[in-house]
Amino acid sequence: MVVTRDQMVQWLENTAAVMKENKEYLTQLDSPIGDADHGINMDRGFRKVLEKLPGVADKDIGNVLKTTGMTLISSVGGASGPLYGTFFMRGGMAVDAKEELTGDDLATMLQAAVDGVVQRGRAQAGDKTMVDAWLPAMKTLRETLDGDNDNTIAALSQAVSAAEQGMKDTIPMQAKKGRASYLGERSIGHQDPGATSSYLMLKALLDTLEG
């Protein structure tokens, strides 16, 4: 299948709606192990993205994503702004000037985005961060897609399931990065809010492409 620019814009609009809908849930997750503002920050950031989208909706996909990244960096507080901003900036750079994406292009975009987050946050699997949702998702996406662009939706669906499991797997982890790491063993037993918002964002992409 081919992913159009309009679908990518729709993904960002849908993500904004999902972050608004889950604002309180994400903030509740953040309360015991963070600043109790993750949902508030993500909602605010994507509302700002919504304001910017009409001005770039006729540009190439790379431009749309890079604009999203810059907007998140400038409008989201805490660690989430730089990390999600880097996600979209790096993803946009990987598909610069493209008007549509194949499944392989989509995987390349997401991989570059996740690599950017790993670089920026210096997190690895098991640190109880958003990376714990993204790494299994990307491994599953690459393995399932395997160069078959007709298999994009099915591969993405499996990647979403992997992200959901990765998100749940953060519950028994002890945080090793960010504010939650200050709590030591008290961070155990709580689902990571960043892994949760990452899962929600990837699921929004699947829902968008499924129509």
Angle at 15 between CA 78 and CA 151, to 5 degrees: 120
Over residues 29-88, the pLDDT tens digits come to 999 999 999 999 999 999 999 999 999 999 999 999 999 999 999 999 778 899 999 999
CA–centroid distance for 153 within its chain: 17
Average pLDDT, the chain: 96
User: Confidence band (pLDDT; 50, 70, 90) for 177?
Assistant: confident
The token pair at 46 is 């994507």
Over residues 147-171, the pLDDT tens digits come to 888 899 999 999 999 999 999 999 9
Percent of the chain with pLDDT over 90: 89
Residues 6+ away with beta carbon under 8 Å from 164: 133, 199, 203
The DSSP symbol for 187 reads: G
Question: What pLDDT score was predicted for residue 77?
Answer: 76
Residue 100 β-bridge partners: 4
Average pLDDT value for residue range 166-192 = 92
**Annotation: CATH topology of 3-210:** 1.25.40
Place of tokens 């810059």: 70
